[in-house]
Structure 1
């Protein structure tokens, strides 16, 4: 017991030490050898970074269980084929029943809970699908309590999971290197692209994490080497680093994920509304503000639009969908033998034919590892193969080797930044972020370069956009405050007629 207590005390000391938010001071306190300003015990900074990540994850899961307990339901949406409507319990996300969009629901439904199989007997269901869905929801609520329902999207994931599931452990290791749990990062990729590297959305978002072209082009300009957006293994580090930065800003993965979908200003408005409703921390504020927005939209989309703008129903569900798909990531990794990914930075433009000839792989297999590869790998870009081949350039598979203590020191210090959302919006905070950007760059590592690149991207966002000014106005506007109070009254009157 004494040993356990001493170990716990040591971890606390490490966290307190690393939690100092002044990156420049921590770097300055390093010795002339450039060693990081962390306790000398090997792996201390790595353990501190891992602890911070897991602490945030556990707090997020607790918040989900309190505010959105149905989140496990979303795992089923991406595993059951399209053309079905799924019903689950809003109290715990348990799947209750699945019905075909066409056909006789009383006859063709599949009941995950056999005790409910008689619910539709003798019921005349509407012919119109939307009305039928609502009617069945009402019938199920009488027997099973609050219900959640959604159309299946299995075809969005299935073909790409079959093709790429063996690479998930490698991609997961990339996310973990940036302080993002593998299951969270990969679940977001499922929701965004179905793991398909060449995915394009109707608004032209591209790749693994669906970056908008203008944003990906900014990242490309900031990166010191060529990055090809249609390669999953290229996008994954930048997705992970960006999520790590947003998570540090909010001290939670939940609003960080939502920002990726809904935009920073919309999510910040949501958090401010939750703060006004009495939320004690960012998680409570986000969920309370999100529920507030959804409830107001049910009253009138236009009347209260100044309180939520384009934060819509999918925005409110996005983080829930991601966390629900963690179960699918886990299952895919457990059920599929995993393959290796090795990365080489090619010193010259290299043709697909040359890669096929030297590697002995088929064209299809080379392109499975490199979806962006059509004819040639550009000079200074990464080539991915199941084994390392020296003739194609230096090994840049950072996730396959231990990170340096210098990198872990920078990451642990960054993840421990203790600054409010308002402080992040202040242009002066860019000085702190710039210090960290320099620290990561000075590690001389691949992952440090990625973090430095994405911090540069975020600094541009915070200093070059009107985000801070818009939020200042939202906080101080008397008109917005009056509209907020009116919305609260309307909801109270509806709840207590």
Structure 2
């Protein structure tokens, strides 16, 4: 569900600072044991390579989410390596940490501004002549650590759910970590809920498209729909980078960004998105109001979103390796089941039952899913699809869907609805849990298409937008020339 808000992800993220897709035929995917996994590995490899080209400091964000709160950290925008760290409240001259003493010497005993934002900006200006371009942000480890203690044992299971839909486990879990710190119940100021921070009305629409009851506070339920939605967006773009950004910034903002990147000469989707993203933050910084019709509400937070997630994949891998893992079993209940009955039948404490089912207060409603450490047939049929190999029919449809390769202009056109409806039918025909999830998510995407088509069609053809875009190009070029002259 696109969260169409310019609301910060959990990190502050206030700094403003091509790879060809491997086709299934070229890679000989029919000859490998798991063609879906092979295809997705190739896609992720292309994304990481593009990020290393355009945003080489993206791994910096791993420091932000793995260190406890209370620091401001600086990293290299060229490698992501940690350069310096300072207490949010404290003496930055005497209490700072430096990766190289020459950086400390550069700062010396110069007075620091009292206001934190001014202090951060000043230190970046002082560091960059010796350390190169830097990124800085407050640490956010405390956003993650309490939930890792409670839910960290489930990461492998949630990762398998993402993988069933063609999303690399550490990528999907990294998004969940950035959005919610792995909590199913956390709510944003905009009332977005849980794992992937979807808005309540999006869940309500999705619930109407499914044959069972969705209890959105349960992460294991959320993981399937988060994974399926990201899979659809990645198929649309042929890349996880704009797919992740669309989740955060919304389809119209990302559509504008890709169109702008195309006008800038981007050769493939990654080039187009990353060039368009850089253009958006550049012109917003130069004249925040002037170019709103060109960039929408796409800003620094949207710009950083995908790199934060890709930059924290290793953080998630480390968390998984450090935690003992346990299985999650799933039962689709055919009647209301009370919490007291679950406790009595399983011998588990209420706290432990709620660890598996954060949505459970008094009862599991008929048609919903109960999650437990063991399968108990008396509660309902086993629907833990991630414990079984994917049906061959499901993998066949999923791979076909990933190999669509339709241009974005087709995805945005009304006629493309019939293509997606056909895939809904094919996923439904697999008669599998994962097929039913993909059917519902595609139904949601289809509902979004008419508005998106109208907005992007107008954007592509409006001559006033074209003129404003050209004005932004010129303004940015003038600013770059001015900065070159200042450096001489």
- The normalised TM-score by structure 2 is 0.92
Of 199, 202, 216, the match for 2:189 = 202
Matched, 1:244 2:231: yes
Q: Is the 8 A contact 2:24 2:39 kept in 1?
A: no
1:300 aligns to what? 287
Alignment of 1:78-477 (within 5 A): 78-113=65-100, 116-462=103-449, 465-477=450-462
Partner SS for 1:407:
helix
Alpha-carbon separation, structure 2, partners of 1:220 and 1:407: 22
Matched, 1:70 2:70: no
Alpha-carbon separation, structure 1, partners of 2:458 and 2:480: 30
1:127–1:429 CA distance, 2 compared to 1 (3 A): same
How far is 1:13 from its partner? 8.1
How far is 1:14 from its partner? 5.6
How far is 1:84 from its partner? 1.3
How far is 1:244 from its partner? 0.2
Deviates more, 1:470-479 or 1:134-143: 134-143
Matched, 1:483 2:460: no
Partner SS for 2:74:
strand
Alpha-carbon separation, structure 2, partners of 1:67 and 1:198: 35
Alpha-carbon separation, structure 1, partners of 2:136 and 2:461: 39
1:207-237 Cα deviation digits (max 9, x unpaired): 1111111111111110110110000000100
Q: Is the 8 A contact 1:345 1:381 kept in 2?
A: yes
Alignment of 1:39-54 (within 5 A): 47-54=34-41
1:271–1:9 CA distance, 2 compared to 1 (3 A): closer
Deviates more, 1:105-114 or 1:187-196: 105-114
Q: Is the 8 A contact 1:11 1:48 kept in 2?
A: no
Which sections of structure 1, spanning at least 5 residues, go unmatched?
1-7, 16-38
Alpha-carbon separation, structure 2, partners of 1:124 and 1:205: 42
Alpha-carbon separation, structure 2, partners of 1:194 and 1:10: 35
Partner SS for 1:496:
helix
Alpha-carbon separation, structure 2, partners of 1:325 and 1:459: 31
Deviates more, 1:409-418 or 1:77-86: 77-86
Q: Is the 8 A contact 1:73 1:95 kept in 2?
A: yes
How far is 1:469 from its partner? 1.3
How far is 1:392 from its partner? 1.1
Equivalenced residues, count = 461
Alpha-carbon separation, structure 2, partners of 1:115 and 1:218: 57
Q: Is the 8 A contact 1:87 1:98 kept in 2?
A: yes
Alpha-carbon separation, structure 1, partners of 2:301 and 2:231: 22
Alpha-carbon separation, structure 2, partners of 1:328 and 1:375: 35
Q: CA RMSD in A?
A: 1.7
How far is 1:10 from its partner? 11
- The normalised TM-score by structure 1 is 0.90
1:166-214 Cα deviation digits (max 9, x unpaired): 1100000000000000011000001110100101100000111111111
How far is 1:127 from its partner? 1.5
Q: Is the 8 A contact 2:24 2:403 kept in 1?
A: no
Alpha-carbon separation, structure 2, partners of 1:386 and 1:120: 55
Q: Is the 8 A contact 1:198 1:230 kept in 2?
A: yes
1:340–1:9 CA distance, 2 compared to 1 (3 A): closer
Alpha-carbon separation, structure 2, partners of 1:447 and 1:113: 51
Q: Is the 8 A contact 1:293 1:308 kept in 2?
A: yes
Partner SS for 2:106:
coil
Alpha-carbon separation, structure 2, partners of 1:10 and 1:157: 37
Partner SS for 2:183:
coil
How far is 1:80 from its partner? 1.6
1:30 aligns to what? none
How far is 1:9 from its partner? 13
1:234-275 Cα deviation digits (max 9, x unpaired): 010000000000000010000000000000000000000000
